[in-house]
Chain A
Amino acid sequence: MSEEIKKDAVPKVKSIKKMREIMTAYYIDAKTARQNNKKVAWITSGGPVEPLYVMDVIPVYPENHGAMIGASKMGVGLCETAENMGYSRDLCSYARADIACSTVNGGPIGGLPEPDFLVCSNNICGTVLKWYEVQARYYNVPLFIFDTPFCHTEFSIEARHYVEKQVLEYIDFLEKMCGKKFDQDKAREVLDYSYEGQRLWREVLETARSKPAPLSAFDAFFHLALIVTLRGTKTVVDYYTELIDEMRQRAADKIGSIPNEKYRLLWDNLPVWYKTKWLSDKFASHGACLVADTYTSAWCKQLDYIDKSDFVKSMVDCYTMIYLNIGVDQMVDTVKGMVEKYDVDGIVMHSNRSCKPYSLGQYDIQRMIQKATGVPSVMIEADMVDERSFSESQIDTRIDAFMELIKQKKG
C-alpha cells in the first residue's frame, strides 16, 4: 500500500457499540422465540416485512446470515458443504452457505432459529425462489411466495392487480399461520415506523455528501443490518436518529470516514463481505473514500412509493419497484443520480458471481454512465461470500491502475 494509514487519525463511531447490542438482542429474541410463544418467519431481504411485525412474528433473514457468514470468513467451508450435497459451485453463495448451515451445527451464530414458515419475494432474484423451495422441503414448513413481476420498462396495470391480490393473500396466510386477526391500527403504526426508518436511513446515507464524508459505504454496509432486519420497528427509528446526530457532528468537525479524503468513489453491487476491511484500507491508502453505494441505498428508495394512508398500495409499489426489479436503463438513471448527488470521481463495480440480476448488465451500465457523465469505472470480479472467487493480487493491481487514472483526471 502506498501510504501508511493511521488508525488513530479517525475517532471511533460511538453508535457501533449500540448497534451490536441491538443485533445481539434481536438474535437472542429470534432464538428464544419458541419459549416466548412467538413465531419465526424466514424472509428474503426484499420481502414485505411489515405485515410480519403487525402479526408479532419475528422475521429472520437468511441473507443477513449469509453476510455474517461471509464477514466471519466461514463462507468457503459452508459453500463446500453445500457442494458436497450436490449444489453447483456456480450457485449463489448466500444460498449455498445457508442451505449448508441448516444441516450442520455451526456458522457464526450457531445457525438460525428454525422457521415456522417462509416468505419469499422474487423481487430481488429468481434464486431466492429456488433457495426457499429447498428450505421449505428441508424444514417441511409452509412457503408463501410474493411474486412481483419484473418491471423492464413498466409496472403494468395487470401486474399491479396481481401483486395487490397477493398482499391480501399474504395477510390471509399470516392470519392462518398465527391464528389471529390482522390489526389495522397496528399496521398503520408499523408502516409509520417503516417509513420513518427508511427516511432516516436515507438521511444517514446523505451525510456522506459532506466533504470529507463522515460515513463510507463500508460503514453503511455495517449500519444497514437494522433497516433490513428491523424495518417497521421503533428500534430502527431511535438508532438512526442517534446515528444521524453523530454523523452530522463529525461532518461539522470535518472528521472523514478515512483520514485524508482526496477522491470520492461510488460502490456498485453487494459488498465483498470477507474483504471489506482490505478493500476499505486499499482505497484509503490512495486517499479514496467510497462515499456511496447502490446497495445500501436500495433500502430507502422505496420511500418514494409509500402512501401512509394506504397499507396495501404501499406494499404493492414499494416491493415491486425495488432496484433489482427494474430495467438496466432505469438502474443507469439511479447511478447517474448518485454520481451527481455525491460528487463522485469514479465508480467501483463489483461483478458478483453470486448475483446475476445485479451483475448482468453492469458492462452496459458502465458504458452508459461513462458516456453520460464522463466518470470512469473499474470492474472487480469477485463473490460476496465465496472467497475462492477473489484474486487478491489481480484486484490489487486493478485498483492501483484505476486510482492512477482518477489521479491523472482529477490532478
Chain B
Amino acid sequence: MKILQEFINAAQDPVIYARENNMEKKKKLIGYCCTYTPEEIIYAAGAIPVRLFGIKSGIEKADAHLQAYSCSLVRGIMEDALLGNLDFLDGMVFPHTCDTIQRLSDIWRLNIKTTWHNDIMLPVKLDTQSAREYMEDAHAKFRRELGAWMGTEITDDALKQAIALYNRLRSLMKRLYEIRSANPEALSGRDMYAVVKGTMVMDRKDAADLIEKLVAELEQKTPPVQGNARRLVISGGICDHPEIYDLIEKTGARVVWDDLCTGSRFFEGLISEEGDPIKALAARYSNRTICPAKHASLTLRGDNLVGIAKEHKANGVIFILLKFCDPHAFDYPFMKKMLDDAGIPSMLLEVEQELPSAGQLATRFDAFIEML
C-alpha cells in the first residue's frame, strides 16, 4: 500500500527521515523522548517535535557517561547524540519522566551542544487540585520559554489550531486501532507499528492526512469471516520492534490493542477545544492514561489494562518491558495479579533495545499462545 510506505520510511530510520524530510519545510526540529512532551505547544510554535528512539546496538560512546544499568533506550539515545547524528536538532526537551531520563537531561546538557535545552518539570502526581494547577503553570512556562527562544509569540489561535490537529490525529489513530481490533487482518502489526512510530517524527499534519486516507481505504475493505486467531494485548513502555509483531503473527495470534507509550497512551485522551488552550492542554496531560512514572491512583494502570483486555476480547496479554526500566518493573507484579484475578493469562518478556534471537523469542511466544 502506497500510503504506508511513507510511514515505513519514517519508522525505519527516524533520524534520517526527520532531517531530510524537513529540508524543504525548514521548520525547527525539537527532539524529545517521552510522550508527556507537550507536542501541541511545539507544533503551535511552528516547529516539529521529533521523538528519539536511539541506536539499538553497538553502544560504545555512551558507556563513558551512563552505567550499564541504564536502560538501553536511554543509552541508545545518548550514543546517537554523541555520534553527532542528532546535531540537526535545533532543540531538545526533557519532560520529567524517570530517574534515568532525568539524569540523561543533565548529561546531555553538559556534553551535547544542542542550541536549545529545556526541562519541563511536570508534576509526578496528577490527582490533586494543586498538581493540576501546577500542570497548567508548567505548560504556560514552557510556552513562554519556547516562544522566547524562537522569537515568536505562541498565540492562543496557534495553540487552538495545533490542538485541533492533534485531536484529529489522535482520533484517526484510534480509529485505525479500532478497525484493526474489529478485523485484525486489515493491517499487520508491523504496519501498525510503522504508522505510530512514523507519526512521531513526521510533520503531524502530513501524518494525519495520510492516516485519514489509510482509514478510508481500510474502511472500504469487507471484513473477512471472523477467524479464530488468538487476540493479544501488548503492555509496556515502548515496543520499537517490528520483528516482535511478525513473530507473534507467525503463531497465528494477532495483536488487537496495546497499552504502550508508542501506542494507545499516545493517542488516548482528546483535548477540549473550548476555553483557554493551556488549561485544556494541561487537563489532557493530567487525565490521559498514565505512564508508571506518574501517580494518579493506586490501581489505575491495572484497571486500565484489564479494561482494554476485556473491551477488545483479548485472550492474553504480553508484557514487553525494557530491562532496567524501574517504573514498569515495579508495576508488573500488581498488574499481572489483576489480570490473573480477571482470568486473563499473561506473559512477561524483558528485552533490551537489541533483541535476543528470533528463535528464542518464537519459542516463548509459541509456548504462551499455545496455552491460551
Contact = CB atoms under 8 A, between A and B. Distances in A.
A329 B124 contact: no
Given A91-B326, A353-B69, A143 B298 contact: yes
Interface stretch (B22-30, B59-67, B148-156): B59-67
A278 interface: no
Given A129-B124, A134-B330, A363-B65, A329 B106 contact: yes
A126 B99 contact: yes
Contacts of B122: 149
A376 interface: no
Contacts of B104: 360
B88 interface: no
Given A359-B67, A363-B65, 6 more contacts: A127-B326, A129-B124, A149-B122, A150-B121, A158-B140, A159-B134
Interface in B59-96: 64-67, 69-70, 96
Interface stretch (B9-17, B45-53, B107-115, B269-277): B107-115
B257 to A, nearest CB: 23
A328 B122 CA distance: 19
A406 B41 CA distance: 53
Contact of A361 (B64, B103, B324): B103
B299 A158 contact: no
A133 B69 contact: no
Contacts of A125: 99
The 4 closest A-B pairs by CB, nearest first: A130-B330, A86-B333, A360-B103, A162-B134
B70 A169 contact: no
Interface stretch (B125-133, B182-190, B304-312): B125-133
Interface in A14-54: none
A261 B357 CA distance: 54
A134 B326 CA distance: 13
Contacts of B326: 90-92, 126-127, 130, 356
Interface in A140-174: 143, 145, 147, 149-150, 152-153, 156, 158-159, 161-162, 165-166, 169
Size category of the A interface is 35 or more
Nearest to A136: B298
A136 B134 CA distance: 25
Contacts of B292: 130
Contacts of A368: 110
Contacts of B124: 122, 126, 129, 145, 147
B100 A150 contact: no
A147 B332 contact: no
Given A149-B123, A356-B100, A361 B107 contact: yes
B339 to A, nearest CB: 12
Interface in B131-149: 131, 133-134, 137-138, 140-141
A359 to B, nearest CB: 6
B329 interface: yes
Interface string A40-75: 000000000000000000000000000000000000
Contacts of A359: 67, 69
Contacts of A131: 330
Nearest to B94: A152
20 contacts: A86-B332, A90-B329, A126-B327, A127-B99, A133-B295, A133-B298, A145-B125, A147-B123, A147-B124, A149-B96, A150-B119, A153-B109, A162-B133, A162-B134, A328-B110, A356-B69, A360-B100, A360-B104, A363-B66, A364-B111
B160 interface: no
